[in-house]
């Protein structure tokens, strides 16, 4: 398959109001002259980003949508494809939970499941159908996490959702390759974004710490892998090394390692 070519075509990015999604949008517009459909709940942030990106001579559409709401997820697809074809879709929106699973509310779990899994499956299938029907060999990307490759203690539900995405994404990508359409699963480790503060992992890992990537550098690797149509992309030498060694580590040992790493931030005895 030829590399993806985003110039003059529309790429949709969910979770574009901050962090990795925002930086990927910048790269698509600035370096590839790609048009964009930006999706998130914080419309003011999307509109400010759209103003910045239009200076690169590209078209930018903002869609306010909440991925926990089924009607918003469906509307995202309907509005994104109304009168335009989407060449590429980057499903990046995600939320995390850091803490004792015994204490996580079921409501918080349901919202995470809807954002990280249910909406991703729905949009991936819809956009894949749309992209296959266009016949111009576009692509999809799902942003997962290294947490999905190993049992991550105190992020049990989060790592569960990302484990789903890793397997779903690679398997669905295999099916899509029969249609000349690629699906890249992007699998970062720690990134210095708002997610640290929102979930609480920021109490342990901060910007500048070993292993914490800057969002712009991480986004560059994501977009490069996406354009190359790579199936499973882990950014950074340290993340690649961790992934390699953890493959030979028993699951219970890995859970114990992550427990030791995180428990001081939780003040668990
Ligand atoms: N940060 C890390 O250490 C890390 C590590 C591995 C993987 N990841 C993954 O990378 C992706 C991007 O995260 P990030 O680090 O860039 O975090 P972030 O800065 O918190 O960005 C998350 C994005 O998702 C959007 N979002 C969250 N809930 C949403 C909802 N219900 N509906 C619509 N949009 C929603 C947010 O927009 P609004 O709040 O405006 O809706 C925001 O744009 C996520 O899938 C995350 O799991 C992050």
Instruction: Using CA atoms of 151, 152, 156, 157 in order, give the dihedral in degrees to the nearest 10.
Output: -90
The CB of 184 under 6 Å from ligand 1? The reply is no
Give the three-class secondary structure for 40: strand
The CB of 193 under 6 Å from ligand 1? The reply is yes
Q: Whose CA is nearest to atom 6 of ligand 1?
A: 145
Q: What element of type H or E holds 233?
A: strand 232-233
Domain boundaries, the chain: 10-266
Give the three-class secondary structure for 234: coil
Give the three-class secondary structure for 21: helix
Strand partners, 64: 40
The CB of 200 under 6 Å from ligand 1? The reply is no
From the CA of 116, give the closest atom in ligand 1: 45
pTM over 0.85: yes
Tokens representing residue 261 in the block: 């790493």
Q: Which of 13, 14, 16, 20 has the most ligand 1 atoms within 8 A of CB, as the residue to mutate?
A: 20
**Among 112, 98, 104, CA closest to 67:** 112
**Among 211, 210, 212, CA closest to 192:** 212
The CB of 258 under 6 Å from ligand 1? The reply is no
Tokens representing residue 160 in the block: 């569960």
Q: For residue 203, give Cα distances in angstroms to 102, 111, 159, 209.
A: 20, 22, 18, 12
Query: pLDDT tens digits, the chain, 269 residues: what are they?
Result: 899 999 999 999 999 999 999 999 999 999 999 999 999 999 999 999 999 999 999 999 999 999 999 999 999 999 999 999 999 999 999 999 999 999 999 999 999 999 999 999 999 999 999 999 999 999 999 999 999 999 999 999 999 999 999 999 999 999 999 999 999 999 999 999 999 888 877 777 778 787 899 999 999 999 999 999 999 999 999 999 999 999 999 999 999 999 998 888 886 54
Give the three-class secondary structure for 184: strand
The CB of 161 under 6 Å from ligand 1? The reply is no
Q: What is the pLDDT of residue 269?
A: 47
At 247, give phi and psi (nearest 5°).
Answer: -65, -25
Give the three-class secondary structure for 37: strand
Q: For residue 252, give Cα distances in angstroms to 95, 249, 255.
A: 25, 8, 5
The CB of 15 under 6 Å from ligand 1? The reply is yes
CA of 120 to the centre of ligand 1 (A): 13
Looking at 1.10.490.130, 3.30.470.10, 3.40.50.720, 2.30.30.280, the CATH number of the domain 10-266 comes to: 3.40.50.720
Strand partners, 12: 37, 89
Q: Whose CA is nearest to atom 44 of ligand 1?
A: 94
How many helices, marked H, and strands, marked E, lie in the chain?
10, 7
From the CA of 72, give the closest atom in ligand 1: 32
Q: What is the largest CA-CA distance in the chain?
A: 57
Q: What is the pLDDT of residue 202?
A: 77
């Amino acid at each position: 398959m030829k590399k993806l070519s985003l110039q003059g075509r529309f790429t949709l990015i969910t979770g574009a109001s901050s962090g990795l999604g925002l930086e990927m949008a910048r790269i698509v517009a600035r370096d590839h002259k790609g048009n964009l459909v930006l999706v998130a709940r914080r419309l003011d942030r999307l509109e400010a980003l759209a103003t910045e990106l239009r200076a690169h001579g590209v078209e930018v559409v903002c869609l306010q949508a909440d991925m926990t709401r089924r009607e918003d997820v469906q509307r995202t697809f309907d509005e994104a494809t109304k009168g335009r074809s989407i060449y590429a879709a980057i499903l990046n929106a995600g939320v995390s939970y850091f803490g004792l699973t015994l204490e996580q509310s079921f409501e918080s779990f349901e919202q995470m499941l809807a954002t990280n899994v249910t909406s991703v499956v729905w949009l991936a299938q819809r956009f894949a159908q749309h992209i296959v029907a266009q016949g111009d060999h576009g692509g999809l990307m799902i942003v997962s996490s290294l947490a999905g490759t190993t049992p991550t203690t105190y992020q049990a539900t989060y790592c569960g959702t990302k484990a789903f995405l890793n397997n779903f994404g690679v398997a669905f990508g295999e099916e899509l390759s029969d249609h000349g359409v690629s699906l890249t699963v992007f699998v970062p480790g720690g990134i210095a974004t708002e997610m640290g503060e929102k979930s609480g992992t920021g109490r342990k890992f901060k910007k500048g710490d070993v292993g914490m990537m800057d969002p712009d550098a991480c986004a560059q690797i994501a977009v490069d892998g996406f354009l190359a149509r790579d199936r499973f992309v882990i950014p950074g030498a340290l993340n690649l090394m961790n992934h390699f060694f953890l493959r030979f580590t028993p699951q219970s040992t890995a859970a114990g390692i992550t427990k030791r790493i995180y428990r001081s931030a939780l003040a668990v005895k």
